[in-house]
Chains A and B, each alone.
Chain A
Amino acid sequence: MRNDVLADIFRKSLLTRVFEDRFVKLAMEGVVPPLLHPGAGQEVAQIAAIAALKDDDPVLYAHRGTGYMIARGVSMRAMLADCAGRAGGTNNGKGGIMHVVDTSKGIFGESGTLGGGLVISVGMGMAVKKKKTGQVVVHFFGDGGSNRGTFHESLNWAAVQKLPCVYICENNGWAVSVPVSESTAVENIADRAHGYGIPGVIVDGADPAAVMDAVRTAAERARSGQGPTLIEIKAIRLRGHYATDPQDYRADAAEVAKNDPLETLRARVISMGLMTEAEVETLLTECEAEVQQAVEEMQASPPLSPEAAFEDVMV
């Protein structure tokens, strides 16, 4: 793995963490609704996965975190505007933080119903295949979402048609308060790939090089017409399900906090000599300033007219 790529993943992961922590603060202050599902613990893997793709490969995501958007350079100001009901958002206040969209950066949105994006991804795959655009459609979702029937229907039909799709399940061990062991009959979500005759790959979400490798291999396979791959990222959820979730159902919170992939990456970046401690501190300050600027710009934008409630229903 190239050093500059690793450093970039670190920079974007740190920015994502700072952005989301600030988002939670804004939620506590009542500036935005507390609807963010923090991606803390998963952002390194999300950003590494995006780094293995081409910039115009369309991405569908689930509700957990904003790493995908930050990786693709979606405006933080616009994402905050979506949530605060200000003008200049990505979805004109219609979808808040959960339906961030920027097709110019390949961000194609999210299904509010878990598993609902899987079916959409199949049609997107059919379209790019028919139009021979060379793109690969990538869909991120959680272990909980993989228990919807849409998972079965979508992976089966995507495999039958050999669609250029990559399915990335971020298994963080929890669906809200229910541990995956109590909801899911197999140990690994990737094992289900056998049921569709496609490769199922497991990677460690704290290892950006492994994530990149797996996604690159899957994307190449998809691009060359061999069909989809199911990748399972073994991830950890550092925070509550949503911004202000007290997590009182959870005994492992303190334990997983010791294994924060962002901390691991930070230590690695320093030990490899890519950055000094001082440079990391400077980077942190820069990220905070960038987020601060986005917050200020968002707050300077005019509120959306309530009449926007009637817009964007149909063409």
Chain B
Amino acid sequence: MRTITYAKALNEALDESLQADEDVIIYGCDVGRWGGIFKITGGLQTKYGADRVFDSPISENVLVGAGVGAAVMGLRPVVELQFADFLITAGDEVFFKAGMWRFMHGGAFKVPMVLRLPSGETGAGPEHSACPEAYVMHSPGLLCCVPSTPADAKSLLKQAIQSDNPVMFFEHRRLYQQRGEIDDDAPLIPFGKAAIRREGRHVTIVAWQMMLNRALKAAETLAEEGIEVEIIDPRTLAPFDFDTILTSVKKTGACLVVEEGYRRLGVGAEIGARLFEEALPYLDRPFRRLAIPDVPISSIPALVNRIIPTVDQIVATVREMAA
């Protein structure tokens, strides 16, 4: 076992993937010479050369679209957008080209590309702060990873690069410097397998990335009060491991989703709808969500902190649910 940061884990995943497969290429704004604005691709251009790790113009549509074209011709491009929000900037290429080029051509192509999407609040306002994974979940043809630990980040990124399908890979910026244990001999984590981060019997919480950290903190406070929460980290949102949630809810009878995306039709809305369809007999308290209320994200910390779910809010909500 080693302890490394989430950022280092991502860098190692890219490094090892470049090493293992000549068809892997990496490009994006500033990823080459400078190693990326968040330094995730640091050192890779020096090691693998500028024809495999290179800078691109500020042209998000062609960044993503070229990834599809390169994938169709047998490469495995790993493309970085500087901010996950730009998923919307490149909407046609993400949703129609990456998600549907194979389908609309009757399966003639494989699209093995990865789009790396650093997400989460930065203080730079509403176009540089979102966690837009619900958009990806909503649209067919795309896989979606939301790793929360260094070990998951490395494993899921390697798996994403090896996948023959397009993967939207959300990296949470607030986690980059977080450290965690990593077992170099562990097999890769399969897509669609949630992790139970804490076991408990009173309330099920579904949370990932920064909200997972907050849920884990809240769980400690709640435990002192005798409320045992079970915390599920989905790890991938598409495919989505609903079974693990269902099993947990059968035990707890209550479910709270904590997410950093917008509330309306967010990931929590989907989980709630499925619980309503498939688990109503097991729910003995109403399903609850904590999410960003439906206003854009500001740049001033006081305003941002007002809308992102907090540890205190999680504690208070679970208390209500457990009462």
Point out the residues of chain A lying under 8 angstroms from B51, CB to CB: 130
A81 CB to closest chain B CB, in angstroms?
11
Give complex CA distance A304, B197 in Å.
46
Identity of the chain B residue whose Cβ is nearest the Cβ of A103 in the assembled complex = B108
> Pick the contact of B69 from A95, A119, A156 — CB < 8 Å?
A119
Give complex CA distance A119, B164 in Å.
20
Give complex CA distance A119, B77 in Å.
14
Give complex CA distance A194, B65 in Å.
23
Asked whether B62 is an interface residue with its Cβ less than 8 Å from the other chain, the reply is yes
Task: State which of A37-45, A239-247, A307-315 sits at the interface with chain B.
Answer: A307-315
Give complex CA distance A127, B66 in Å.
9
> Pick the contact of B65 from A82, A91, A120, A128 — CB < 8 Å?
A120
Give complex CA distance A58, B73 in Å.
10
Asked whether A126 is an interface residue with its Cβ less than 8 Å from the other chain, the reply is yes
- Evaluate contact between A119 and B108: CB separation under 8 angstroms: no
Identity of the chain A residue whose Cβ is nearest the Cβ of B65 in the assembled complex = A119
- Evaluate contact between B25 and A120: CB separation under 8 angstroms: no
- Evaluate contact between B62 and A122: CB separation under 8 angstroms: yes
Give complex CA distance A131, B73 in Å.
9
Point out the residues of chain A lying under 8 angstroms from B68, CB to CB: 119-120, 123
Asked if A149 meets B61 with Cβ closer than 8 Å, knowing A119-B97, A125-B69, the reply is yes
A221 CB to closest chain B CB, in angstroms?
20
Give complex CA distance A60, B142 in Å.
23
Asked whether B96 is an interface residue with its Cβ less than 8 Å from the other chain, the reply is yes
Identity of the chain B residue whose Cβ is nearest the Cβ of A92 in the assembled complex = B106
Give complex CA distance A311, B77 in Å.
25
Binary per-residue interface labels of chain A (101-131) against chain B in the complex, 1 for a CB within 8 Å, 0 otherwise: 1110000110111001011111111111011
Point out the residues of chain A lying under 8 angstroms from B67, CB to CB: 123
Asked whether B107 is an interface residue with its Cβ less than 8 Å from the other chain, the reply is yes
Asked if A130 meets B25 with Cβ closer than 8 Å, knowing A123-B70, A315-B165, the reply is yes
Point out the residues of chain A lying under 8 angstroms from B57, CB to CB: 153, 156-157, 160
Asked whether A154 is an interface residue with its Cβ less than 8 Å from the other chain, the reply is yes
A154 CB to closest chain B CB, in angstroms?
5
B residues 94-112 with Cβ under 8 Å of A?
96-97, 101-110
Give complex CA distance A120, B72 in Å.
9
Give complex CA distance A90, B67 in Å.
24
Give complex CA distance A3, B18 in Å.
51
> Pick the contact of A128 from B25, B64, B73, B101 — CB < 8 Å?
B73
Asked whether A89 is an interface residue with its Cβ less than 8 Å from the other chain, the reply is yes
Asked if A123 meets B106 with Cβ closer than 8 Å, knowing A116-B92, A150-B61, A156-B59, the reply is no
- Evaluate contact between A312 and B103: CB separation under 8 angstroms: yes
Binary per-residue interface labels of chain B (203-230) against chain A in the complex, 1 for a CB within 8 Å, 0 otherwise: 0000000000000000000000000000
Identity of the chain A residue whose Cβ is nearest the Cβ of B164 in the assembled complex = A315
- Evaluate contact between B102 and A119: CB separation under 8 angstroms: no
Interface size on B, residues (CB 8 A): 39
Give complex CA distance A149, B57 in Å.
14
Give complex CA distance A120, B64 in Å.
9
Asked whether B36 is an interface residue with its Cβ less than 8 Å from the other chain, the reply is no
- Evaluate contact between A124 and B69: CB separation under 8 angstroms: yes
- Evaluate contact between B107 and A157: CB separation under 8 angstroms: no
Asked whether A94 is an interface residue with its Cβ less than 8 Å from the other chain, the reply is yes
Identity of the chain B residue whose Cβ is nearest the Cβ of A102 in the assembled complex = B108
Point out the residues of chain A lying under 8 angstroms from B96, CB to CB: 111-113, 116
Asked whether B157 is an interface residue with its Cβ less than 8 Å from the other chain, the reply is no
Binary per-residue interface labels of chain A (150-175) against chain B in the complex, 1 for a CB within 8 Å, 0 otherwise: 10011011001000000000000000
Give complex CA distance A27, B34 in Å.
56
Point out the residues of chain B lying under 8 angstroms from A125, CB to CB: 69
Asked if A109 meets B101 with Cβ closer than 8 Å, knowing A92-B107, A130-B75, the reply is yes
- Evaluate contact between A112 and B104: CB separation under 8 angstroms: yes
Asked whether A34 is an interface residue with its Cβ less than 8 Å from the other chain, the reply is no
Asked if A314 meets B105 with Cβ closer than 8 Å, knowing A116-B92, A123-B65, the reply is no
Point out the residues of chain A lying under 8 angstroms from B64, CB to CB: 119
Point out the residues of chain B lying under 8 angstroms from A118, CB to CB: 62, 65
Point out the residues of chain B lying under 8 angstroms from A82, CB to CB: 106
Point out the residues of chain A lying under 8 angstroms from B126, CB to CB: none
Asked whether A93 is an interface residue with its Cβ less than 8 Å from the other chain, the reply is yes
Asked if A123 meets B105 with Cβ closer than 8 Å, knowing A150-B65, A314-B165, the reply is no
Asked whether A223 is an interface residue with its Cβ less than 8 Å from the other chain, the reply is no
Give complex CA distance A101, B69 in Å.
14
Binary per-residue interface labels of chain A (289-301) against chain B in the complex, 1 for a CB within 8 Å, 0 otherwise: 0000000000000
Which B positions have Cβ atoms within 8 angstroms of A? 25, 51, 56-57, 59, 61-62, 64-75, 77, 92-93, 96-97, 101-110, 140-141, 143, 164-165
Cβ contacts A to B, 12 pairs, < 8 Å: A94-B103, A95-B104, A112-B96, A119-B62, A119-B69, A123-B68, A123-B73, A154-B62, A157-B56, A314-B102, A314-B165, A315-B164
Across the A-B interface, the 6 shortest Cβ-Cβ residue pairs: A119-B65, A123-B69, A127-B73, A123-B66, A91-B106, A312-B107
